[in-house]
């Protein structure tokens, strides 16, 4: 059970995460999980701690995504067709990722692989940005072909796997798929990513509860009582953040911030996780 001080600190930090990440096509799980870990939430579960924290993070990811969908939708920055291309693969990947999180203890190979994927995507997006600084602000329909749609759908399995395995929304994969493979404009891709994040995170939450029960963990641990407190605050942070960002942040800056987050995440995985296992 969380004490009042821990819950208050978690609420402030998660609000600030949603404030920023709602502009980037990300659900916030990249920081929700570390915040909860650093505050010692569910530490008594030992090696099973992540199996409790991941579903909490996924509910907060849904809150961020719903807020961003609302604000981006009002600006006409949601591409439902493109989100639909990614959704099937992402849901399939979520099933596999959730099983890995709950049923397996070691994810070294997955972390190593995902770090490499992040670096590759970050370099590709940076190259695109340097080649054509005005690009990314309009759709490139020449890339929106049946073959590329099939490739995007297959690649989105990784987005879902990431979400189910580690409690993040998968936007780090969704956005590059939409911009690099399908040629969608960056700002619309950032908004449309949330259309994939919300159902994927919701599915991951439900599957984690079922699988936790299968390995003897509580389906509704006391820590879940934090969700009704954190969810509305994260939604509010996401709504304010995306509203302000859409009004004041230019696409080029949002793109550069997103690329920076990709590289910082890869660095964190490499330095903190991989070296810890070395």
Is 0.85 surpassed by the pTM of this model? no
Domain count, the chain: 1
Give the per-residue pLDDT at 196.
Answer: 94
For 19-43, write each residue's pLDDT tens digit: 988 888 888 877 888 788 878 888 8
For 143-198, write each residue's pLDDT tens digit: 999 999 999 999 999 888 877 776 677 888 898 899 989 999 988 998 999 999 99
Domain span including residue 33: 4-277
For 192-250, write each residue's pLDDT tens digit: 999 999 999 899 889 888 888 887 888 889 999 999 999 999 999 999 999 988 888 77
Of the two residues 270 and 83, the one the predictor is more confident about is: 83
CA gap 119, 144 in Å, rounded = 24
Average of per-residue pLDDT values in the chain:
84
Give the per-residue pLDDT at 74.
Answer: 93
Q: Which one, of 21, 66, 59, lies nearest residue 235 by Cα?
A: 66
- Note whether 151 and 136 are within 8 A (CB): no
Cα angle 35, 235, 249 (rounded to 5 degrees) comes to 90
State in Å, rounded, how far the first CA of the chain is from the last one.
33
């Amino acid at each position: 059970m969380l004490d009042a001080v821990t819950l208050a600190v978690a609420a402030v930090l998660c609000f600030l995460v949603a404030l920023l990440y709602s502009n980037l096509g990300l659900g916030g799980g990249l920081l929700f999980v570390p915040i909860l870990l650093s505050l010692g939430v569910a530490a008594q579960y030992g090696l099973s701690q992540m199996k409790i924290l991941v579903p909490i993070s996924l509910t907060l990811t849904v809150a961020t995504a719903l807020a961003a969908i609302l604000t981006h939708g009002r600006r006409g920055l949601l591409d439902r067709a493109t989100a639909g291309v990614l959704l099937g693969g992402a849901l399939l990947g979520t099933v596999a990722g959730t099983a890995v999180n709950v049923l397996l203890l070691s994810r070294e190979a997955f972390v190593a692989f995902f770090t490499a994927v992040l670096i590759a995507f970050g370099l590709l997006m940076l190259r695109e940005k340097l080649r054509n600084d005005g690009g990314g602000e309009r759709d490139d329909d020449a890339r929106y072909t049946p073959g590329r749609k099939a490739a995007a759908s297959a690649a989105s399995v990784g987005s879902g796997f990431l979400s189910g395995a580690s409690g993040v929304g998968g936007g780090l994969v969704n956005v590059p798929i939409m911009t690099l493979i399908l040629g969608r404009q960056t700002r619309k891709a950032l908004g449309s990513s949330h259309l994939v994040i919300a159902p994927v995170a919701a599915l991951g939450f439900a599957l984690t509860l079922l699988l936790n029960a299968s390995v003897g963990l509580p389906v509704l641990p006391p820590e879940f009582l934090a969700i009704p407190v954190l969810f509305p605050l994260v939604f509010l942070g996401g709504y304010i953040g995306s509203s302000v960002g859409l009004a004041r942040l230019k696409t080029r800056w949002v793109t550069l911030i997103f690329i920076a987050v990709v590289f910082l995440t890869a660095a964190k995985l490499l330095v903190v996780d991989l070296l810890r296992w070395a």
